[in-house]
Amino acid sequence: MSLEEEILKRIKPTPEEEKEIMDVAEDLVERSLSIISEMGIDAEPIIVGSVAKGTFLKNPDIDIFIRFPPETPREEMERLGIEIGRAIIPDGRENYAEHPYIHGVYRGFEVDIVPCYRIEDGSKKMSAVDRTPFHTEYIKSHISEEQKDEVRLLKRFMKGIGVYGAEAEIEGFSGYLTELLIIYYGSFMDVLRASQRWKRGTRLSLEEDKGNRFDDSLIFIDPVDPKRNVASALSVDSFALFIYAAHEYLSKADERFFFPKKREAASYEEIRAEIERKGTEIIGFEIDRPDLVHDVLFPQIKKAKRTVAQRLNDAGFTVLSSTYKAYDDKITFIYELEVHTLPSVKKHYGPPVWHPNSENFLKKWKNIHKRIEMGRWVVQIPREDRDALSYLKRTIPDANLGKDLTEIAKKSFRVLSRKDIIHEHAMLITEMLFPLFPWQI
Amino acid sequence: MSLEEEILKRIKPTPEEEKEIMDVAEDLVERSLSIISEMGIDAEPIIVGSVAKGTFLKNPDIDIFIRFPPETPREEMERLGIEIGRAIIPDGRENYAEHPYIHGVYRGFEVDIVPCYRIEDGSKKMSAVDRTPFHTEYIKSHISEEQKDEVRLLKRFMKGIGVYGAEAEIEGFSGYLTELLIIYYGSFMDVLRASQRWKRGTRLSLEEDKGNRFDDSLIFIDPVDPKRNVASALSVDSFALFIYAAHEYLSKADERFFFPKKREAASYEEIRAEIERKGTEIIGFEIDRPDLVHDVLFPQIKKAKRTVAQRLNDAGFTVLSSTYKAYDDKITFIYELEVHTLPSVKKHYGPPVWHPNSENFLKKWKNIHKRIEMGRWVVQIPREDRDALSYLKRTIPDANLGKDLTEIAKKSFRVLSRKDIIHEHAMLITEMLFPLFPWQI
């Protein structure tokens, strides 16, 4: 039995499991239909997603969409959709993507019940949610039975190396993209091999490509809407990581690509020794975690991480590497610095000597030795913060960290010293100091 | 008596001194004439420079040009010119600017005897040397008796603040430019006042300005050749310094602008304490001084200083300030650093992951943890030099420091530690750590 066959055995639902999944899905459709009929409204439930397409792994989410006629007012559609969802899963939670929807557990499965519009074809202007049924339809009508297993392998491989999912936290490959790749190239191994010829901007299409411009790492023209790139959420790092993982897998296949080992944190002594050896410094900070959905929160965290790195660099505290982690209750940012202590003075440029502002400049720095460089005033003025931790402490609580993080940082910001970090974030610092790709653990 | 009158008394030759200067100059012309006649050649001696123009200070250099007909072959003109010079000043030294010339002492005065071509008008294509007689003529016919004293004041002021002389070491105002400024504005005080309205690119002309483009700090169209900017050798720093000095003099006149005090070096303890206070580091190096004329040597020194500063910065050793000094036998370069010690690793970027060069990159850094950033490989590789002095020691002897300095650096390069610098270059480090403008000493 090949490794891929072995993996497939572990990830593919057994016929009994599959029967149960389909049974639950149909049960959900029937319950929806009877509730719709009781309510006397015009709406239609359909199964979408991997369960509808037959590409699901064990314990899949089951996605039921309730389609409303396009003339339904948006508010009414949302209200009725939620009402139907609540009737089926009374203890479900109302989530929000492009519409509100109900998420909960039904007969042991995670279920989403999502209202949307019924629209004539996939290229009409609509939300991503409204487009989903067209994607489901396209895959169902283009994928072969054998390819469904190939999709399963590719999904599990991507999960294993950490690039599965289009959400902001991952910025990876969506399920739909995975299915299209299998249809395009034929099999799991074919996708891996093909990826060795990919480069930034590689462009693929199963249907007509109308040549719309996309500035993404990978472009896969949506077969139901040529104006859309299915891979638009894929970051260049996820793109690159997939190519590298495929390269490594092709040279030496291993189950750890699908099922990476769990990493163990390095010991306090190992971490301390590595920092000593490198002669770097580790600092960081934490803020409370705001109550935001992932797709709103993670872009802000990533941006804040970059903003702070840029500020440290600009202040002369050179950043060697950085990382973050969103815990349930807080977000932690960590920076490894090449330079963490600086002189008590810094170089400060003034206006050209002949400029009218010279007068003010000279008044302002009256008691400081002046130099002229390239015609401009130069002074060495006192530096506000000689070490990076003081710099963070003084400047970050008032910094612009993005829409929602700025306010919460004002209230909850706290710095983390090297010691704090080693003691409280051993795993995070282990990953930063000894980076390994998932299959290398 | 005004301060300017007092200064003038100190710098202007007395009538007796003036008589002697003129007497020596005429003596030089007569001796040249008789030697030319003895040699039976066609040439004509003329007095040029400040002595001819009546704008000289005490103990001026006396410049005698020997003009040859334009059809004289260049070699012959140079050979005969040197022969005449040697006949007048047998122990003179042969120097080289655009032509070779003889420099020596005659009856107690520094004298230059310079061969050149007699050309019809100043705008004809010729060397700067050939143009000099036209400059002399122009000034003689446009300057008033009173303005000659104003020129003297302006020259002395510029000498005092360190911006007098167009040579590469100073990059300041030439005597000719000084005279033109007085003719243009009227008086010493008028030039100072006018300079407060100068800015980079200020353009002045006494005759027709044909609008030729000049990319210099100050533009003064040569009245004998509109294609030439008389101020082309003026650096932006000398330009700026003059404007600032004028500003300060106008607000509080002081003889120290004309006659700055001699600076005393700070004590070992003062220097050490200042470095400690700032938390910077001082390093440097020396090379033997090559036997080159100033106008060849100084541009190379300045360029080498910048090259090394750039290399230090690129290597992560941030330069706060730098200086140099050309001693008789060696050239010393000193750098004040914000960062002088760095981690044992540095960040190194590789190709994009999908690039064919990836293969080589991964092979090369086989045993080093890899990261992916923005789609590119990133590794932390061993840093060759953790401190700036080792970095200089390893890299500068093989660096390109310019045409003549590169070879001499290979053979004679030696680093200077902080201790070496404080002990051996106390004055230089004093000026670097406690910079003062000449009138502030």
Q: Could you count the other beta carbons within 10 Å of the beta carbon of residue A216?
A: 19
Chain B contact for A309 (CB, 8 A cutoff)? no
Name the band, by pLDDT with cuts 50, 70 and 90, for residue B122: low
Question: CA A334, CA B317: separation in Å to the nearest integer?
Answer: 24
The 3-state DSSP class for residue B287 equals strand
Closest approach of chain B CAs to the CA of A368, in angstroms?
9
Query: How many pairs of residues across A and B have Cβ atoms under 8 Å apart?
Result: 124
Q: Is the dihedral of CA B273, B278, B284, B289 positive or negative?
A: negative
Instruction: Give the CA dihedral A195, A200, A206, A208, nearest 10 degrees.
Output: -160
Name the band, by pLDDT with cuts 50, 70 and 90, for residue A123: low
Q: Please name every residue paired with A437 in a beta bridge, in sequence order, or none if there are none.
A: none
Question: CA A83, CA A90: separation in Å to the nearest integer?
Answer: 10
Structure tokens at B229: 């900017």
Query: Across the interface, do A280 and B343 touch by the CB < 8 Å criterion?
Result: yes
DSSP percent split of chain B into helix, strand, coil, nearest 5:
45, 20, 35
Q: Is B138 exposed, middle or buried (0-12, 13-18, 19+ CB in 10 A)?
A: buried
User: What pLDDT was estimated at residue A125?
Assistant: 66
The 3-state DSSP class for residue B371 equals strand
Chain B contact for A306 (CB, 8 A cutoff)? no
What pLDDT digit, counting tens, does each position of A226-240 carry? Answer: 999 999 999 999 999
Question: CA B95, CA B87: separation in Å to the nearest integer?
Answer: 16
User: What pLDDT was estimated at residue B128?
Assistant: 78
Question: CA B388, CA B366: separation in Å to the nearest integer?
Answer: 28
Query: Across the interface, do B279 and A217 touch by the CB < 8 Å criterion?
Result: no
Domain boundaries, chain B: 12-131, 143-257, 268-341+385-440, 345-382
Closest approach of chain B CAs to the CA of A67, in angstroms?
40
List the one residue out of A114, A380, A99, A163 whose CA is nearest residue B321: A380
CB of B333 closer than 8 Å to CB of B284? yes
Q: Which residue is it, tokens 């990059």?
A: B171
Query: Across the interface, do B436 and A369 touch by the CB < 8 Å criterion?
Result: yes
CB of A397 closer than 8 Å to CB of A409? yes
- CA A403: distance to chain centroid? 18
Chain A contact for B395 (CB, 8 A cutoff)? no
Q: Of the candidates B217, B279, B352, which has its C-beta nearest A344's C-beta?
A: B279
Q: Please name every residue paired with B285 in a beta bridge, in sequence order, or none if there are none.
A: B333, B415
User: What pLDDT was estimated at residue B187?
Assistant: 98
Q: Give how far Cα B47 sits from Cα of B37, B64, B74, B289, Å.
A: 18, 5, 21, 34
Element (H, E) at B359: helix B358-364
User: A106: Cβ–Cβ under 8 A, 6 or more apart, which residues?
Assistant: A24, A28, A62, A88, A89
Q: Of the candidates B316, B339, B372, which has its C-beta nearest A240's C-beta?
A: B372
Question: CA B376, CA B351: separation in Å to the nearest integer?
Answer: 6
Chain A residues close to B318, C-beta within 8 Å: 316
Q: Please name every residue paired with A221 in a beta bridge, in sequence order, or none if there are none.
A: A205, A229
- What's domain A268-341+385-440's superfamily in CATH? Poly(A) polymerase predicted RNA binding domain (3.30.70.590)
Q: Of the candidates B244, B341, B372, which has its C-beta nearest A353's C-beta?
A: B244
Looking at the predicted structure, is the pLDDT value of residue B58 above 70? yes
Query: Across the interface, do B353 and A321 touch by the CB < 8 Å criterion?
Result: no
User: A303: Cβ–Cβ under 8 A, 6 or more apart, which residues?
Assistant: A401, A402
Name the band, by pLDDT with cuts 50, 70 and 90, for residue B237: very high
What pLDDT digit, counting tens, does each position of A145-157 carry? Answer: 999 999 999 999 9
Q: Please name every residue paired with B348 in a beta bridge, in sequence order, or none if there are none.
A: B379
User: What pLDDT was estimated at residue A215?
Assistant: 95
Q: Is B63 exposed, middle or buried (0-12, 13-18, 19+ CB in 10 A)?
A: buried
Chain B contact for A316 (CB, 8 A cutoff)? yes
What pLDDT digit, counting tens, does each position of B6-37 carry? Answer: 999 999 999 999 999 999 999 999 999 999 99
Query: Across the interface, do A279 and B386 touch by the CB < 8 Å criterion?
Result: yes
**B-contacting residues in A 146-185 (Cβ below 8 Å):** none
Question: CA A362, CA B294: separation in Å to the nearest integer?
Answer: 34
Average pLDDT of chain A, as a whole number:
94
Mutate to test the interface with A, among B359, B362, B372 (most CBs of A within 10 A): B372
Q: Of the candidates A237, A240, A347, which has its C-beta nearest B320's C-beta?
A: A347
Question: What letter would DSSP give residue A257?
Answer: G
List the one residue out of A132, A169, A178, A396 whose CA is nearest residue A286: A396
Residue A63 one-letter amino acid: D
DSSP percent split of chain A into helix, strand, coil, nearest 5:
45, 20, 35
Q: Which of A43-52, A111-120, A409-418, B305-314 has the lowest mean pLDDT?
A: A111-120
Q: Of the candidates B200, B277, B341, which has its C-beta nearest A375's C-beta?
A: B200
**B-contacting residues in A 335-394 (Cβ below 8 Å):** 338-339, 341-347, 352-355, 358, 369-376, 380, 386
Query: Across the interface, do B338 and A342 touch by the CB < 8 Å criterion?
Result: yes
Q: Of the candidates B198, B316, B372, which has its C-beta nearest A237's C-beta?
A: B372
The stretch B282-290 carries a mean pLDDT of: 97
Question: CA A404, CA A386: separation in Å to the nearest integer?
Answer: 30
Residue B16 one-letter amino acid: E
Q: Is A162 exposed, middle or buried (0-12, 13-18, 19+ CB in 10 A)?
A: middle
Structure tokens at B294: 């100033």
Q: Is A261 exposed, middle or buried (0-12, 13-18, 19+ CB in 10 A)?
A: exposed
Question: CA B318, CA B296: separation in Å to the nearest integer?
Answer: 29
What pLDDT digit, counting tens, does each position of A272-303 carry? Answer: 999 999 999 999 999 999 998 888 999 999 99
Q: Is B400 exposed, middle or buried (0-12, 13-18, 19+ CB in 10 A)?
A: exposed
The stretch B365-381 carries a mean pLDDT of: 96
Query: Across the interface, do B353 and A380 touch by the CB < 8 Å criterion?
Result: no
Q: Is B276 exposed, middle or buried (0-12, 13-18, 19+ CB in 10 A)?
A: exposed
Query: Across the interface, do B280 and A345 touch by the CB < 8 Å criterion?
Result: yes
Chain B contact for A243 (CB, 8 A cutoff)? yes
Chain B residues close to A278, C-beta within 8 Å: 343-345, 380
- What's domain A12-131's superfamily in CATH? Beta Polymerase, domain 2 (3.30.460.10)
Looking at the predicted structure, is the pLDDT value of residue B295 above 90? no
Q: Of the candidates B236, B344, B345, which has its C-beta nearest A374's C-beta?
A: B236
For A119-172, strand residue ranges (E) read none
Name the band, by pLDDT with cuts 50, 70 and 90, for residue B129: confident
Q: Could you count the other beta carbons within 10 Å of the beta carbon of residue B426?
A: 17
Question: CA A198, CA A216: separation in Å to the nearest integer?
Answer: 13
Q: Which chain B residue has its CA at the smallest distance from A245's CA? A: B353
pLDDT > 90: percent of chain A = 91
Q: Which CATH class is domain B143-257?
A: mainly alpha
Query: Across the interface, do A369 and B434 touch by the CB < 8 Å criterion?
Result: yes
Question: CA B308, CA B335: separation in Å to the nearest integer?
Answer: 9
**DSSP-assigned states of every residue in A265-317:** PPPHHHHHHHHHHHT-EEEEEEEEPPS--HHHHHHHHHHHHHHHHHHHHHTT-
Highest mean pLDDT among A121-135, A393-407, B78-92, B247-261: B247-261
CB of A47 closer than 8 Å to CB of A130? no
Mutate to test the interface with A, among B243, B354, B433 (most CBs of A within 10 A): B354
The 3-state DSSP class for residue B439 equals helix
Query: Across the interface, do A338 and B346 touch by the CB < 8 Å criterion?
Result: yes
User: What pLDDT was estimated at residue B403?
Assistant: 86
Question: What letter would DSSP give residue B344?
Answer: S
Element (H, E) at A17: helix A15-39
Chain B residues close to A341, C-beta within 8 Å: 279
CB of B298 closer than 8 Å to CB of B326? yes
User: What pLDDT was estimated at residue B321?
Assistant: 95
Q: What would you report as the CA-atom Rg of chain A, rounded to the nearest whole angstrom?
A: 27
Residues in chain B: 441
User: What pLDDT was estimated at residue A99?
Assistant: 81
Q: Of the candidates B316, B375, B435, which has its C-beta nearest A237's C-beta?
A: B375
Looking at the predicted structure, is the pLDDT value of residue B161 above 80? yes
CB of A317 closer than 8 Å to CB of A341? no
Query: Across the interface, do A243 and B321 touch by the CB < 8 Å criterion?
Result: no
Q: Which residue is it, tokens 């006494």?
A: B206
Chain B contact for A217 (CB, 8 A cutoff)? yes
Structure tokens at B171: 């990059």
User: What pLDDT was estimated at residue A293?
Assistant: 85
Name the band, by pLDDT with cuts 50, 70 and 90, for residue A25: very high
User: What pLDDT was estimated at residue A219?
Assistant: 98
Give the number of C-alpha atoms closer than 13 A to the C-alpha of residue A43, restricted to the C-beta side. Answer: 34
Name the band, by pLDDT with cuts 50, 70 and 90, for residue B335: very high
Name the band, by pLDDT with cuts 50, 70 and 90, for residue B130: confident
Question: CA A162, CA A257: separation in Å to the nearest integer?
Answer: 10
Phi, psi of B252 (to 5 degrees): -160, 95
Q: Of the candidates A236, A318, A343, which has its C-beta nearest B374's C-beta?
A: A236
What pLDDT digit, counting tens, does each position of B178-229 carry? Answer: 999 999 999 999 999 999 999 999 999 999 899 999 999 999 999 999 999 9
Average pLDDT of chain B, as a whole number:
95
Name the band, by pLDDT with cuts 50, 70 and 90, for residue B96: confident
What pLDDT digit, counting tens, does each position of B78-94 carry? Answer: 999 999 999 999 999 99
Query: Across the interface, do A435 and B370 touch by the CB < 8 Å criterion?
Result: yes
CB of A162 closer than 8 Å to CB of A156? no
**A-contacting residues in B 251-290 (Cβ below 8 Å):** 277-280
Q: Is A105 exposed, middle or buried (0-12, 13-18, 19+ CB in 10 A)?
A: exposed
Closest approach of chain B CAs to the CA of A431, in angstroms?
11
pLDDT > 90: percent of chain B = 91
Question: CA A133, CA A49: separation in Å to the nearest integer?
Answer: 8
Q: Of the candidates B343, B352, B437, which has its C-beta nearest A338's C-beta?
A: B343
CB of A183 closer than 8 Å to CB of A206? yes
List the one residue out of A428, A404, A410, A407 whose CA is nearest residue A418: A428
User: What pLDDT was estimated at residue B125?
Assistant: 66
Chain B residues close to A374, C-beta within 8 Å: 236-237
Query: Across the interface, do B352 and A198 touch by the CB < 8 Å criterion?
Result: no
The stretch A375-397 carries a mean pLDDT of: 96
Q: Could you count the other beta carbons within 10 Å of the beta carbon of residue A385?
A: 17
